[in-house]
């Protein structure tokens, strides 16, 4: 059962949305009435999806979404009456997964949540892949720097410097990048 956190920063009642979610088998958590309470509510209640109903997302709402997205990312569905393209881009940049301008149709709520979950999962996968690539690049730079130190201080060729790093890593039972860090640290001391 998916847990849904509702955020309502409008004056209109949210009971119809709550009923629609419940009728589709979602567990509806407490309604958050202020964007300032968003992060605390997400961390405390750990929803699977956040749904925000707003006339137009305020700067405060977008800032709080950015904070939430950095600290405790979740799929976010935003229902809004504002179709301003800059505002939509700002909302997506703040972490909104699905932005809908039309009213909330109870029969469409389940597919909307499904799309938000799928997009969030794909974005999470891409963020993880990007982080791995960035880490590999960072590791590669350290290894290259360590090779450069060995080439400079010991008059080695690049191939011999790399083989020296590799041999040392095998002797220590550690990763090549860890040996590179050790060599860089030692060179910095000298």
Q: What is the pLDDT along the chain (190 residues), one digit of tens a residue?
A: 899 998 887 666 676 788 888 888 999 987 887 778 888 899 999 999 999 888 888 888 899 999 999 999 999 999 888 889 999 999 999 999 999 887 777 778 889 999 999 999 999 999 999 999 999 999 999 999 999 999 999 999 999 999 999 999 999 999 999 999 999 999 988 7
Tally of CB atoms within 10 A around 151: 16
Q: Strand 3-8 vs strand 49-54: parallel, antiparallel, or unpaired?
A: parallel
User: Which of 107, 48, 95, 88 minimizes the C-alpha distance to 69?
Assistant: 95
Q: Tell me what pLDDT residue 13 has.
A: 66
The SS3 of residue 52 is strand
Q: Tell me what pLDDT residue 190 has.
A: 77
Distance in angstroms (rounded) separating the CA atoms of residues 157 and 22: 68
Distance in angstroms (rounded) separating the CA atoms of residues 184 and 190: 10
Q: According to DSSP H, which parts of 46-157 are helical?
A: 59-71, 85-93, 109-154
Q: Tell me what pLDDT residue 11 has.
A: 65
Q: Domains, the chain, ranges and CATH?
A: 3-104 (3.40.50.2300), 130-189 (1.10.10.10)
Q: Which residues of 11-39 are buried (b: 16+ CB within 10 A; e: fewer)?
A: eeebeebbebbeeeebebbebbeebeebb
């Amino acid at each position: 059962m998916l847990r849904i956190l509702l955020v309502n920063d409008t004056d209109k009642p949210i009971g119809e949305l709550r009923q629609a979610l419940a009728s589709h088998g979602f567990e509806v958590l407490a309604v958050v009435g202020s964007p300032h309470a968003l992060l605390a509510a997400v961390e405390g209640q750990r929803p699977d999806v956040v749904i925000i109903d707003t006339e137009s997302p305020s700067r405060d709402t977008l800032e709080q979404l950015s904070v939430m997205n950095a600290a405790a990312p979740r799929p976010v569905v935003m229902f809004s009456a504002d179709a301003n393209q800059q505002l939509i881009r700002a909302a997506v940049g703040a972490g909104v997964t699905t932005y809908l301008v039309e009213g909330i149709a109870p029969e469409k709520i389940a597919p909307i949540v499904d799309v938000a979950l799928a997009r969030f999962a794909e974005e999470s996968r891409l963020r993880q892949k990007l982080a791995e690539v960035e880490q590999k690049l960072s590791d590669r730079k350290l290894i290259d720097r360590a090779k450069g130190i060995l080439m400079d201080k010991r008059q080695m060729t690049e191939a011999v410097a790399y083989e020296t790093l590799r041999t040392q890593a095998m002797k220590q039972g550690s990763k090549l990048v860890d040996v590179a860090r050790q060599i860089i640290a030692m060179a910095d001391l000298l």
